[in-house]
Amino acid sequence: CVDIGTLYKDTGYFTYDPGYGSTASTKSAITYIDGDKGVLLYRGYPIEQLAEKSNFLETSYLLLNGELPNKTQFASFEHDITHHTMMHENLKFFLRGFNHDAHPMAMLAGSIASLSAFYHDKLDVDNPEDRKLAAIRLIAKMPTIAAAVHRRSVGWPVRYPRNNLEYVTRFLHMMFEVPSEPLELNPVAAKALDLLFILHADHEQNASTSTVRLVGSTGANPYASIAAGITALWGPAHGGANEAVLKQLEEIGSPDNVETAVKRAKDKNDSFRLMGFGHRVYKNFDPRAKIIREMCHKVLNELGVKDPLLDVALKLEEAALKDEYFVERKLYPNVDFYSGLIYKALGIPTEMFTVMFAIARTSGWIAHWIEQHETPGSRIGRPRQIYTGADVRDYVGADKR
Ligand code: ACO
C-alpha cells in the first residue's frame, strides 16, 4: 500500500502494481496457467491434448461454452460459422481507402471496428442470443477479413469464402492465388495452421484480453471491444513478437552471429532484447513453445522447406538456455519463437503473422467478453493512479509567465 502524499490525503490507500503483476482484475473459468510448472488448460483440458486431438473450431466451441461439443452440437456450430463467413460488400470499399502499404494490423483493427457500424442496430449486449450471434460473426468473418486485408496489400481482388471447405482450408484458399500445387489442399499446411490457431486461442488475462475486458466493461459493443484487443496485440512485447522474431532472426543472419546477439541482449545499456524469449507468467518452458518447436521441424520437413533461419533459431535457443543471464531470469522461448518459421514455410508474409495470431485469439477474446457479460455485478474497469504532478497552484496570466 502507498500513501499518496500530502495533496489529497483523504483519497486513502490502494495497491500500486505497475504492469499488474500481482493484481487479478477478474475471476474467470476459461483458461488456467501454472507458470512455474509450464501448465496451460483450456476449460480444464491440457493444451497438449487439445493440440493432438482437437481442431480450432471445436476448441473455440469449448472456450465459448465451457464443454466440448458432441457431434450434433459441433455440426450446428460449424453450420452457424459457415453461414456467417461473408463480409459486407461495403467493407471492400472501406479497405480500398487504405494505402496498399498500410500495415495489415492497422487494416484489420479498422475493419473489425467498422463491423460496429454494420451491425449496431441489431445488437443488444445484454441479450444472450445477440452475444452468441456476435461471437459467431466474429469467428466466422475474421479469416475472410484477414485474407481480404492481405489481398489489399498485394493488390489482388478479394476472394469470396468457399463454404464447402473447412475453416482453416477456407482461409488458405482466400489468402493465396491458386498455385500449381494448391497449398490450401496440402493437409500438412492446413494441420499446422489449425494447430497454431488452437495454441493461440486463449491465454487468460494477457494485455489484449484484458483490453477487450476493459473496453467491454464500459458496455461497448463486441466489435469495438475486439478491435481494441487487436490493437493491443499488435505491440512487439505481445503478439507483434512473432513478426519481430523473424525480423531479428533475419538480422542475425547466421549461427555464427548468435553469440554477439546474446551478448547484446544481456547488455543493460543496449535496448536489444531476444524477441520470442521471456514471459510474464511462464517461468518455465511455455508449453505451447514445446509443441510448436516439434511442429516446426515436421512442417519444414514435410513441405520440403530448407530454411537457414531454423539453424539460427536452434543455435539461439541453445545459447540462451545455457547462458547464466537467461537461466537466472527464467527466460525461455515463448509461443512466438518458432511460430513465425512455420508461417513463413506456409508462404504467409511476415507482416501478416500478427494477423494470424488475431484470427486465433478472437475466440478467446469473445469468450471473455461473453463471460464478463454473463457475470452478475461486473463493474466498469477503472484502475487508480499515484499522482506525481505539481501541488495545487494559482493560474498566472500569459504576460506574467
Ligand atoms: N531478452 C533479454 N532480456 C530480457 C528479455 C529478453 N527477451 N525478456 C526479459 N528480459 C530481462 C529484463 O531486461 C529484466 O532484466 P533485469 O531484471 O536485469 O532488469 C528481466 O528479464 C525481467 O524482464 P521484464 O521486462 O521485467 O519482464 P516482463 O514480465 O515485464 O516482460 C516480456 C515479459 C514482455 C514478454 C519480456 O520478456 C519481453 O520483452 N520479451 C521479448 C518480447 C516477446 O517475446 N514477447 C512475446 C510474449 S508472449 C505473447 O505475448 C504471446
* C-alpha triplet 195, 56, 282: angle, nearest 5°: 60
Give me the chain's average pLDDT, please: 92
Q: Which residues pair with 41 in a beta bridge?
A: 32, 46
Protein residue with its CA nearest to atom 4 in ligand 1: 273
Other beta carbons within 10 Å of 41: 16
Q: 346, 193 in Cβ contact below 8 A?
A: yes
Protein residue with its CA nearest to atom 31 in ligand 1: 280
Mutate which of 36, 266, 317, 329 to test ligand 1's pocket (most atoms within 8 Å of Cβ)?
329
Mutate which of 288, 331, 338, 356 to test ligand 1's pocket (most atoms within 8 Å of Cβ)?
331
Would you state the pLDDT for residue 31?
Answer: 98
Residue 2 has pLDDT above 80, yes or no: no
Protein residue with its CA nearest to atom 34 in ligand 1: 237
Indicate the range of 51-55, 184-188, 313-317 predicted with least confidence. 184-188
Per-residue model confidence as pLDDT tens digits over 72-102: 999 999 999 999 999 999 999 999 999 989 9
Residue 371 has pLDDT above 50, yes or no: yes
- Locate 261 and state its grid cell: 546477439
Per-residue model confidence as pLDDT tens digits over 259-292: 999 999 999 999 999 999 999 999 888 999 999 9
Ligand 1 centroid to residue 41 C-alpha, Å: 23
Would you state the pLDDT for residue 100?
Answer: 86
- Locate 198 and state its grid cell: 488452437
Would you state the pLDDT for residue 10?
Answer: 58
Would you state the pLDDT for residue 284?
Answer: 86
Would you state the pLDDT for residue 62?
Answer: 98
Q: Check if 279 is active-site.
A: yes
Ligand 1 centroid to residue 224 C-alpha, Å: 29
Mutate which of 210, 252, 330, 334 to test ligand 1's pocket (most atoms within 8 Å of Cβ)?
334
Q: Which residues line ligand 1 (CB under 6 A)?
A: 19, 237-239, 241, 265, 273-280, 329, 331, 334-336
Protein residue with its CA nearest to atom 26 in ligand 1: 280
Spatial separation of the C-alpha atoms in residues 401 and 396, rounded to whole Å = 7
Q: From the alpha carbon of 206, which atom of ligand 1 is closest?
A: 50
Q: From the alpha carbon of 337, which atom of ligand 1 is closest?
A: 44
ipTM of the complex: 0.95
For range 208-237, the mean pLDDT:
97
DSSP state of 39: E
Compute CA distances 226 → 52, 61, 116, 139, 200, whole Å: 28, 18, 10, 11, 15
- Locate 241 and state its grid cell: 513478437
Strand, helix or coil for residue 243:
helix
Q: Kindly name the residue from 203, 323, 336, 368 that is annotated as catalytic.
A: 336
Protein residue with its CA nearest to atom 44 in ligand 1: 276
Closest CA to 203 of 105, 110, 336: 336
Residue 7 has pLDDT above 90, yes or no: no
Other beta carbons within 10 Å of 391: 7
Q: From the alpha carbon of 334, which atom of ligand 1 is closest?
A: 48
**100 or 8, which is more confident?**
100
Ligand 1 centroid to residue 333 C-alpha, Å: 11
Residue 388 has pLDDT above 50, yes or no: yes
How far out from the chain centre does Cα 76 lie?
A: 26
Spatial separation of the C-alpha atoms in residues 229 and 208, rounded to whole Å = 4
Mutate which of 23, 248, 273 to test ligand 1's pocket (most atoms within 8 Å of Cβ)?
273
Would you state the pLDDT for residue 14?
Answer: 85
Ligand 1 centroid to residue 202 C-alpha, Å: 20
* % of the chain exceeding 70 in pLDDT: 95
Protein residue with its CA nearest to atom 17 in ligand 1: 329
Residue 37 has pLDDT above 60, yes or no: yes
pTM: 0.92
Would you state the pLDDT for residue 53?
Answer: 98
Residue 199: burial class (beta carbons within 10 Å; 0-12, 13-18, 19+): buried
Q: Which residues pair with 46 in a beta bridge?
A: 41
Q: Kindly name the residue from 279, 286, 323, 368 that is annotated as catalytic.
A: 279
Would you state the pLDDT for residue 180?
Answer: 40
